[in-house]
Amino acid sequence: MNNILDQILGRPQAQKIGILAGIIILLAALYYTFLYSPRSDELTKSRDEIETARSQRSIKQRRVANLGRLQKDLIDLDFKLKEAVAQLPDKKEIPDLLSKISTKARESGLEILLFRPRAENYQEFYAQIPVDIVVRGGFYNAVAFFDEVGKLQRLVNIDNIDFKTPKVAGEQLSLDISTLATTFRFLDETERKKVAEEKAKAAKK
């Protein structure tokens, strides 16, 4: 080792500077290869992990901040669902509902001339049940009947109202009033499956 140092020190000034520069470059290369580069990779990996953790934390913080609002929305949707279910009876409740409609007509002072349910019209999850109704009585009796039907908890639409054959009965004007009352009911699972299958068949044609 001393001989090498003596040889280096015995060289001209320019060569000594060149040798020193080469040693510095070699040491720098060794440092980068064995110390800095692995550390740099570790730092990059750690930085990526930190950024990922921060991003996940931000997402979770936003979820926590919105939790109260989401819970309220869920409660509101549940309430609306219950309201919708209350308006659409199931199949076994339909006879009772139709009976209530005819009772409302009589209680309003109308004579029922026709009360005839049509065939059900199936949709995706519910069925429409149209009923042809013809009653006889005064105009205000008919208005009272329609108002009472509108107050029913179950959903009933009144359409196609027509006033016919006006007649004077004493001091009152009697009319034949025809209308189409449509109520609705939920389909059970078997019916919904059948409707879906029929729609799938129709789509293939």
What is the model's pLDDT at position 36?
Answer: 47
Percent of the chain with pLDDT strictly greater than 70: 68
Q: Is the pLDDT of residue 28 over 60?
A: no
Cα 131 to the center of its chain, rounded Å: 32
Lowest mean pLDDT among 48-52, 125-129, 148-152: 48-52
Q: Is the pLDDT of residue 86 over 70?
A: no
Most confident of 36-50, 74-88, 100-114: 100-114
Secondary structure (3-state) at 169: strand
Query: The domain 91-193: what is its CATH number?
Result: 3.30.70.60
Q: What pTM did the predictor assign?
A: 0.55
Q: Is the pLDDT of residue 115 over 60?
A: yes
Mean pLDDT of 122-144: 89
Is 17 or 65 the better-scoring residue by pLDDT? 65
Helix H segments across the chain? Answer: 2-9, 13-31, 37-87, 94-107, 139-150, 189-204
Q: Is the pLDDT of residue 70 over 60?
A: yes
94-112 core/surface letters (b: 16 or more CB in 10 A; e: else) = beebbebbeebbeebebee
pLDDT bracket for residue 144 (50, 70, 90): very high
The mean pLDDT value of the chain amounts to 76
- Taking CA 14 as the corner, what is the angle to CA 8 and CA 15, rounded to the nearest 5 degrees? 35
Domain ranges of the chain: 1-87, 91-193
Q: Is the pLDDT of residue 29 over 70?
A: no
